[in-house]
Amino acid sequence: MGSTGKLDGKVAIITGAGRGIGRAIAVAFAEAGAKVALAARSAGEIEEVAAQIRSAGGQAIAVATDVAKRSSVDNLVKQTVEKLGGVHILVNNAGITAGVLIAKMEDELWERIIQTNLTGSYYCIKAVLPHLMAQRHGRIINIASTLAKSGHAYSGAYSASKHGVLGLVRSLALEVTRYNITVNAICPGWTEAGMLSGSVENIVGKTGMTPEQAKEALIAESPQKRAIEPEEVASLAVYLSTEDARGINGQGINVCGGTVMS
């Protein structure tokens, strides 16, 4: 793998790394020289990504992980430190959603979305912080959403979880800055990844639109009239992990073509 050298010597954990944005981030970090630990519930997918990275000359391990379970997260960090020699960067990307009106949402579904998206990020942060604080340096990047800053019908639980993630980012950034740790969020709009496909399917099932019509209706929300590519999010995550970005802290950076401006 032809490394750019931007992250040489760094070890990064990426959750939800088997597909979409997480996969793109894992590949981009490896290309930048980082050793990467890939986490997801779907072991087969992350094994495939890790094999792709290793075949290109990078270093990667795959650790089946459910971020909603503290013991599973603790194992992820333990495996990373033992096999890759430490941890310097955490990318909280794992997340789930469901297109359901609040009035019709089952409590179990609400709790599962909050547990995965918000509490899962908290568990991962708690597990890596002792390592980052001890070495007095680190980067924590949370993949949030433009729904961390706005609302969207049928996305109440997801939006609430991502608003929570952004609040966590802002508070944590103040707590750990004295350790030379930065904490930021990236807030993508509709992205060519799994959640866009799921939302299209949901609209098709509820309205009778064709998949093409449903996708067009969603991306029409963007002034650029397009979906964001996962690689656009990945390149920003790499930048936020470098020393060049050391002054960026406690921010929620939109990558959405101008859909949300804040």
- Is there a catalytic annotation at residue 179? no
Beta strand extents in 196-256 (DSSP E only): 252-255
The whole-angstrom separation of Cα 201 and Cα 207 is: 10
Q: How far is CA 12 from CA 19, 109, 235, in A?
A: 17, 30, 14
First to last CA, the chain: 37
Overall size of the chain counted in residues: 262
Residue matched to tokens 């998206």: 117
Backbone angle region of 141, left / alpha / beta, with phi > 0 → left and psi within -120 to 50 → alpha: beta
* Contact yes or no for 98/80 (Cβ under 8 A): no
Sequence-distant (≥ 6) Cβ neighbours of residue 137 within 8 angstroms: 88, 179, 180, 181
Greatest CA separation for the chain: 55
DSSP state of 116: I
* Contact yes or no for 13/89 (Cβ under 8 A): yes
Active-site hit among 122, 123, 154, 158: 158
Q: Residues 83, 89, 92, CA angle at the centre, nearest 5°? A: 105
Q: What residue type is 241 in one-letter code?
A: S
* Contact yes or no for 35/10 (Cβ under 8 A): yes
Residues with a known catalytic role = 158
